[in-house]
Structure 1
Amino acid sequence: MATTNDESMTAVLNRLRRAQGQLAGVITMIEAGSDCKDVVTQLAAVSRALDRAGFKIIASGMRDCLAAADGERTPLTEAELEKLFLSLA
């Protein structure tokens, strides 16, 4: 059975793969001379997909931070989590 963290990272990887495919589509659109509005719309979708992946990674970090320290790694501080969130803004 997969752990919650494994499930979260699977979701992140799926979002990143989707964004990768969308980005390839944007490149193809630009190379084909597609309409600017269509290109920007697709580029915005790529950006949202990347943001969502980042938020999912940070949310996983918050969950780890709230969990009891296992002694193997230092949990992120509130300031570090806030800085991560703001880096996506």
Structure 2
Amino acid sequence: MTREDVRKQLAKNPLEWKEERGGATAQLQNLTRWLGVKYSITWGELSVKMHSNGDCITGYITAGYCDVTLKAKAEENRLDLVCRMLGVTE
């Protein structure tokens, strides 16, 4: 499997964003048995929270003025994450 194959598969099921007060979120619940991922756009900043068995890590991805661009960056981050989990390097 190549990175492009993974991209095509993910395109069939894009992130579903929920508009919330002050921003938007998209979740990947149970990405694996123990891992959940939540993307958030708040005040022009895109961040990701990864949580597993009570532990939580929050990472800043980027900032911008356009939600469409930030959502595309979240999709890129999701692609990177899934490729790493699958061991896809091409």
TM-score for the superposition, normalised by structure 2: 0.31
Greater Rg by CA: 1
By relative contact order (CA 8 Å, sep 6+), the higher-ranking structure is 1
Query: Greater helix share, 1 or 2?
Result: 1
Q: Greater strand share, 1 or 2?
A: 2
